[in-house]
Amino acid sequence: MRIINRTGLHDAEAFIRKKLQGYQTEFPERAIPGELNLVLKWMRTKNRERRMAGSFRLRDMTVSCRVNKHTELAFNLHAIVGVPWDQCSEAKGAWVYDFEVVYDLEEAMVFVVSHELRHFLCFTHQEREDVEHLANRAGFEWLREFKAWRVAWGRTQVART
């Protein structure tokens, strides 16, 4: 696996490297052999409403993750993480949401990377069910682990109020 970090978000990169140790990221047996390229970069927009984005490109095995450095921090991140078993998914309000406060750009990057890597891992058959709400759930799990990891290592940079 190759990580190309164009942001200087070193804590996020170190955490991501640690999390990916147990997964296969090189595929010599594929029709187009190669390894996973993970690109961390800034968004080009100054629109503060567009906070983060990501994509997976199969042709060159690239996961591209972007955060907007013009985003006002801290912001509330909420996303769909599931559907209740006792309700029809078509019913209004049937989705289950999760919520977390993002205090800095490192945390935002970890969420985007874990979300997009979930799609990649499903594509390579290392995880099952490639759906958005499970990718969001993976994002929240990694984000919470990253926050705990930073506190344990004394790397919290932002005062939380």
Q: Return the ∠ at Cα 79 (arms to 152 and 83), rounded to 5°.
A: 115
At residue 134, what are phi and psi to the nearest 5 degrees? -75, -30
Mean pLDDT over the full length of the chain: 82
d(CA 112, CA 109): 5
What secondary structure does DSSP assign to the chain, as a single string?
Answer: -EEEE-S--HHHHHHHHHHGGGS--EETTSSS-EE-EEEEEE-S---TT--EEEEEETTTTEEEEEE-TT--SSEEEEEEEE--TTS-TTSTT-SEEEEEEE-SHHHHHHHHHHHHHHHHHHHTTSSS---HHHHHHHHHHHHHHHHHHHHHTT---S---
User: Encoding tokens for residue 92?
Assistant: 């209004």
Indicate yes or no: pTM above 0.85.
Answer: no
- Under the banding of pLDDT at 50, 70 and 90, the label for residue 93 is low
Q: What are the pLDDT digits (tens) for 97-108?
A: 888 899 999 999
- Under the banding of pLDDT at 50, 70 and 90, the label for residue 63 is very high
Q: What are the pLDDT digits (tens) for 26-46?
A: 766 654 556 889 999 999 887
Within 10 Å of residue 29's Cβ, how many Cβ atoms? 6
Give the pLDDT of residue 39: 95
Give the pLDDT of residue 35: 80
- Under the banding of pLDDT at 50, 70 and 90, the label for residue 131 is confident
85 pLDDT above the threshold of 60: no
128 pLDDT above the threshold of 90: no
Query: What is the mean pLDDT of the segment spanning 74-92?
Result: 67
Query: What is the mean pLDDT of the segment spanning 54-77?
Result: 88
The length of the chain is 161
159 pLDDT above the threshold of 50: no
Give the pLDDT of residue 23: 77
